[in-house]
């Protein structure tokens, strides 16, 4: 039974395949997938002290969106190497509403990816229809892996309306296409603390 707090109006799923960026063509394209769910903001237009019921209500939404992302990348969660999340709150909401996505968005991806260790990086803003958000991306098991630092610009034309929130998840399947800035490598991950 879906919570009455949840009204999904629109879902935009996107996959970018990068073959090169003016350097050698990659043996397989680097892929960056995003999913943006446009939901009604049940707390728009007034100050609501207790907003935590929405956090719980968002959990199944997070799972559905994470599944869509994995499907968009071919269906195998094992190909996912980087992730991130973001939120754009419409004009009648507040930044704090964006923070409702941290638990359900993050946990959904980790559950689907089989216990990814790194914190899911995020960004948030209040914006008008068509606002764009740069969603940060890091390696799923070790935040300091330099080859996987990236960001994906996401936005939905026409959303968010004043009473809407755009909830965003992002997954990538490799390092940046011409990764050569050094730093911690995937082969050097210890995988104990989610950082290195």
Stretch of 18-26, 76-84, 104-112, 140-148 lying at the interface with another protein (CB under 8 A): 18-26
3 state SS of 65:
helix
Asked whether position 5 contacts another protein by CB under 8 A, the answer is no
Shorter beta-carbon distance to another protein: residue 74 or 191: 74
Stretch of 80-88, 114-122, 151-159, 185-193 lying at the interface with another protein (CB under 8 A): 151-159
Q: Hey, which bits of the chain come out as E strands?
A: 8-18, 30-40, 82-89, 122-126, 132-139, 150-155, 164-172
Measure the CA–CA gap between 73 and 83, rounded to whole angstroms: 13
Measure the CA–CA gap between 134 and 132, rounded to whole angstroms: 7
Consecutive H or E run containing 106:
helix 102-112
Distance from the Cα of residue 3 to its chain's centroid: 22
Stretch of 98-106, 111-119, 136-144, 150-158 lying at the interface with another protein (CB under 8 A): 150-158
The encoded tokens of residue 69 equal 């992302």
Give the closest residue to 164 by CA, choosing from 12, 45, 66, 34.
45
Do residues 79 and 28 make contact, with C-beta atoms less than 8 angstroms apart?
Answer: no
Among 4, 24, 75, 157, binds another protein (CB under 8 A): 157
For the bound state, the minimum distance from the C-beta of residue 11 to another protein, rounded and expressed in Å, comes to 5
Size of the site for another protein (CB under 8 A): 23
Asked whether position 153 contacts another protein by CB under 8 A, the answer is yes
Q: Per-residue contact track with another protein, 74 to 103, x per CB under 8 A?
A: ------------------------------
Query: Interface with another protein by CB under 8 A: which residues?
Result: 7-22, 29, 72, 130, 132, 153, 156-157
């Amino acid at each position: 039974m879906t919570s009455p707090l949840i009204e999904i109006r629109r879902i935009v799923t996107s996959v970018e395949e990068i073959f090169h960026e003016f350097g050698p063509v990659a043996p397989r394209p680097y892929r960056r997938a995003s999913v943006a769910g446009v939901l009604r903001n049940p707390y728009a237009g007034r100050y609501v002290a207790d907003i935590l019921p929405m956090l719980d209500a968002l959990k199944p939404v997070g799972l559905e969106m994470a599944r869509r992302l994995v499907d968009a990348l071919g269906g195998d969660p094992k190909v996912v190497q980087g992730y991130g999340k973001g939120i754009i709150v419409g004009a009648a909401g507040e930044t704090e509403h964006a923070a409702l996505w941290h638990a359900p968005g993050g946990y959904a991806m980790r559950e689907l990816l089989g216990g990814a260790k790194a914190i899911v990086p995020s960004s948030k803003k209040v914006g008008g229809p068509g606002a764009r958000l740069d969603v940060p991306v890091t390696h799923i098991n070790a935040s300091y892996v330099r080859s996987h630092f990236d960001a994906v610009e996401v936005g939905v034309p026409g959303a968010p309306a004043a009473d809407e929130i755009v909830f965003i998840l992002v997954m990538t399947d490799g390092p940046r296409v011409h990764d050569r800035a050094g730093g911690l490598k995937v082969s050097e991950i210890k995988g104990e603390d989610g950082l290195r």
